[in-house]
Structure 1
């Protein structure tokens, strides 16, 4: 095993990040430096440039800009307010009611918008001040908002599941979407249990109990938003349209809904398009750069070397999954989710498939691992959004975050070692 390419790749990437180089450029430059070990400069520059372009040449990736735009339209289109009102009637009277409302609303918002950032931004802006007014500490509110926002990355439609499908070389997007439901809901349920216990210990006041009439009224108000889930996911699962076509339908549906709710008008559209374009540009640059690193890894046979070394340590499925989970939790601390999925899927997927683990199941394990990373410094993007909206500091949020991290890790353990939680729904639909 030649350690030089691995050392150059890892060390150059860490040094570039430490210097404050943007993640996408750090990935591309470290890939180039790795290639310069093996081939002359001109072919190395050409190969990395071509890989960045070729990495974006995928029909499936067209779904990402559409889902980003639909998420932006939903965020600005009044959908979050209606989902929060519905969640409030369901759990508002329980211990930690507002925290539970935040978690359920984030799950619903994430399921519709497919974006943790959009969910954290919407829920933090709307529920944060309300929680503070009711006596909740802003740090606890921020911690709940940060962790619950990531559940939408498991519950479909989710851009990162599309990215994993691409990186895995053919895992079904429909199967991944179905596989994400139970793990996403389970993670949300564990977060709710911890938030409720924390709120009871701190003595936060209970909300008012809602009547059946109020529940029905808020549900009817939220139905048009929730119906989009049936249209998008139902269409993909039944094969009526692809994920890319579904993303375009989601844009049209959310745009019409925004106009019906009178939250979006022609004056607001240019800014919405600009914001979604900026987000898409960042994501696509990360994808292109990550694909160049994946190619550089393959060229240097690094995935095969790591696979051999890991299986030499142990061929026990339980032990290998523990090692991979620990590595992914560590990776998530220092790397954003999209490049992590694109770079580490080709490394770890051959190992787990040799051990008989389903690629769809492994995709859910990987995404949940990296969701935890989104909530941790120094790179956790959702952490910074949540802290910024709450107008507090990372140091103050760490204490209430820790028990919520424990909840997510318990969910990760169950999902890792009970594959039925991920595979039951996809297999059920196969039988149908």
Structure 2
């Protein structure tokens, strides 16, 4: 299956799907190292040219392509750079399953070079990190010394390694947890909530009481729509473009006795405004760039075509409303999932195994082993698409990986505070069950 995925990715990526059956047959018989050969040939490089670019002998390349020898740490990153691909493309590992050694090899560094770099850095020099300690960390062994028992110190080391390996900090932290559970998990210093900007507060203060009331009620309705769309996304309901659901129906220009009141008008009436038309208050908010009014016509039976006004809050409008209401924007801490991805992970953990349709949208690209958000940004590797253990043939389902379970267990308290709207009741029971 891994060989199939590697070959499929290699040729789909370059629009060569018609060659896929022949290539896959070769790889199945020749081994995953055949991926390296096909990558080289696709790049239009002879063995001699490839060897010169990487800085090795032609014999070394032949050994790599026949599987007689592993690509050394010193040259692995160079191979990827010359071929313009990642490790998954040559069958070395799947995205979302990287270990610390994988990341070091991808940077073409030895353990000695890593240790020497860390001893020169101001933040890690006092930790006296040696090559033996780097190897012990990569092998999942206990690393002696006080820094390796401190989540803060391990967080400092993780950030230094991420910078050295040129990968996102969250990718390094994920690889750390997959690699070694005997040392402290790195603390990436979660961010605090962001206070509203001074400009947003000034925009709110410049409004009169009636304008503030209009903006406040429109903001509340906008946030309700956002929550509804997040739930639709999670439930796999057909996607509604943002440009549509952000436009809130404000009023129909017809007698209320015939067409009734819109949800926005009902909100304003409940707040004491009994003439919530589309007049001066909306115009004032639009002049300040806090909303955009859209005017069109719709057919309403039995009176026929009726003019309609819809209102869309701008980013500045939402910021001003948050400032006026004293709402701080939750900043997603480094290495943590967004709210909708956390919802997806919770759903997979609590309902596994689940079918394809229960993982909505692009959740797989961000969370699933073997996937990638875009080039250079691997998935988190928190869920996987596989057959049940022991099954031979048959359908595949979504399961959480060990990394996904560990991530949820390690950060459950933080997520509950960060995203209180996500239902995690009983999640602890699923986190303690054997996989």
Q: TM-score, normalised by structure 2?
A: 0.24
Q: Which has the higher helix share?
A: 1
Q: TM-score, normalised by structure 1?
A: 0.24
Q: Which has the higher strand share?
A: 2
Between 1 and 2, higher relative CO (CA 8 Å, sep ≥ 6) is seen in: 1
Whose Rg is larger? 2
